[in-house]
A = this chain, B = another copy of it.
């Protein structure tokens, strides 16, 4: 756990001293505000660890790491508009606190700022950093579009759902790690293995997220329990339930989707999922991706002790309760 804390402190300190212009105030003040909301800073930590894995100092990949974190925040600002979300980590979202136009534009400029940070890395790495970053950024947009499309679709297959979360969430973990590996001048083969590790870890991470949303401990989970059920979101739990349910259980599920009593809705959907043993089924999916990731990590041609921090981080992310 020591490396995670050290790295996230490095990121936090850097973001705290990171300067944005004062003017125009309506463009930059929302960003100053949003960047203090925080979060796990998991993605930039991965970039730093990706560099360290191959014997490079964490600091050498700091600009790339900050760039990854800024990009992630850009996606959150625009996603919050699209989801009409009033809150993010219990704080008012930009489009609510200011307005939608300001949220669009400050998100836009944050994306450019992400590029600007990455471009502070040594020019000799720039081409390769841009290749993976552009590819990742495009895929994250594609994942977000798939997620929005799923809202209005009657049927979503589990492989489609996995592909959506791969694009929306997981590729950025893979990309963040690979950017660190590029700075450390790792071989192409090792870079690809590390990317796979990140992507599979990201899939396991997102499935854990789906699980915690309904099964998390209300005292430890930062958000309202059952948010996905209330919003009728087609999460992995929901799709697994539809797959396993008999006709009568599907009928119960459909009725609950229209249930106005939200406490009743969440409680009974959880009961239905329990009957169908969805937690175990979701864990099976999660573990499969986790193990695939660990297999890729094991194949990377560096000493085992160099991999310790990434294994610690993976275990921490899987054991987390929020």
Contacts and interface: CB of A to CB of B under 8 A. Distances in A.
B26 A148 contact: yes
A115 B101 contact: no
Contacts of A288: none
B126 A127 contact: yes
A131 B119 contact: yes
A104 interface: yes
Please state the number of chain copies in the assembly: 2
A16 interface: no
Interface in A60-95: 78, 81-82
Contact of A78 (B24, B108, B113, B144): B108
A312 interface: no
A148 B26 CA distance: 10
A112 interface: yes
A50 to B, nearest CB: 21
A220 B127 CA distance: 46
Interface stretch (A7-15, A134-142, A224-232, A260-268): A134-142
Given A116-B138, A123-B127, A138-B113, A105 B26 contact: no
Contacts of A305: none
A149 B24 contact: yes
A142 B111 contact: no
A81 B104 contact: yes
Given A104-B81, A146-B24, A130 B119 contact: yes
Q: 10 nearest interchain CB pairs?
A: A109-B141, A123-B127, A27-B145, A24-B145, A82-B101, A112-B137, A116-B134, A119-B130, A112-B138, A126-B126
Given A21-B142, A27-B145, 14 more contacts: A24-B142, A24-B149, A26-B145, A27-B142, A78-B105, A105-B145, A107-B108, A109-B137, A109-B138, A109-B141, A112-B137, A115-B134, A119-B127, A126-B126
Interface of A: 21, 23-24, 26-27, 78, 81-82, 101-102, 104-105, 107-109, 111-113, 115-116, 119, 123, 126-127, 130-131, 134, 137-138, 141-142, 144-146, 148-149
23 contacts: A24-B145, A27-B145, A78-B104, A78-B108, A101-B148, A102-B145, A104-B104, A105-B144, A105-B148, A108-B141, A109-B138, A109-B142, A111-B111, A111-B112, A112-B134, A112-B137, A113-B138, A115-B115, A115-B130, A115-B134, A119-B131, A119-B134, A126-B127
